[in-house]
Amino acid sequence: MKRLLFIITLFFINNFLQAQDSKFTFGVGTGITIYIGEIDDINIGGVGGSFNVNFYYNHTSHWSFGFERNGNTSMQVLSREQEDEYLSILPFSVLLLSNVVDYTLKAKYYIGKRKVRTHIALGLGYYRTKSVHRSDDDNLNYKEVPLKRYEAIGLSPELGINFGIFQLSFISDIIPSTVLGYEGNSYFTNFIVRATFNISTNSKKKTKE
C-alpha cells in the first residue's frame, strides 16, 4: 500500500511539472490537534500541535488536487474501562508522547470565486505513529503499554475558509479499525484546527474556469 501511494504521488508530481497552463500552490501550516482512540478496552485521549506542508495543482478555479505531509505531536492519556488481563501490564492511567505522521493525497472543491470563500476536501493517506509510552508502578518498575507503533490507511475529510493566501481549516483524520500489524479492535481519530499560508505560482496561461 505504501508503494502504491508513492507511485500515485509521483504520477501527480509528474503531471504538475509537465502542465503548461496550470497554477500551483505551496503552503505551510500549523495548528492544534485533539486525538482520541481505543485499543480493545484501552481509551486514548490527548492534545498537541500539528505541522503541515502541502503542494497543490489548481486544475480549475474550483478544483485543486495535491499532496500533504502532516505531523502531529500530542501528549496522550491511556486508561482502561475494566480491570481485565491488562491489569498486570497497564496501570489505570498512563501518560505518553505520541508522534503521528501521514502522507495524504487530497482533492479540494472551492465554493465561489471571491477572495473569501469556503472549501470542502477529502483525502486518502498513509498514517504512521511512534510513541514513547512508559510508566512505573508502585515499586518504580517501568512497564510498557501495548502497541508502540501502528501503520494504517485512513481518510481525511476537511472543511475550510480562505482569505486570500490565508486558510483556516477544520480537519478530521479517521483511521479505521484495521491497524496494520495488530489483530485487536482499534480506532483512531485526529481533530485538527489548522492555519495555513499558501504561495501560488501562476503560469503564462490562466487556470481554467
Mean pLDDT of 137-158: 67
- The residue with cell 492544534 is 32
Query: In sequence order, what are the residues at sequence separation of 6 or more whose Cβ sits closer than 8 angstroms to the Cβ of residue 31?
Result: 49, 50, 52, 169, 192, 193, 194, 195
Residue pair 18/10 in contact (Cβ under 8 Å)? The answer is no
What gap in Å lies between CA 156 and CA 127, rounded to an integer? 11
Mean pLDDT of 166-191: 74
Confidence of residue 206 (pLDDT cuts 50, 70, 90): very low
Q: What is the CATH number of domain 2-202?
A: 2.40.160.20
pTM for the structure as a whole: 0.70
Please report the pLDDT score of residue 36 as a whole number. 83
Confidence of residue 44 (pLDDT cuts 50, 70, 90): confident
Number of Cβ atoms within 10 Å of the Cβ of 205: 11
Write the pLDDT tens digit of every residue in 81-140. 554 544 444 444 566 777 888 999 999 999 988 889 999 999 999 988 776 655 555 555
Q: Which of 6-20, 48-62, 91-105, 165-179 has the lowest mean pLDDT?
A: 6-20
Please report the pLDDT score of residue 92 as a whole number. 47
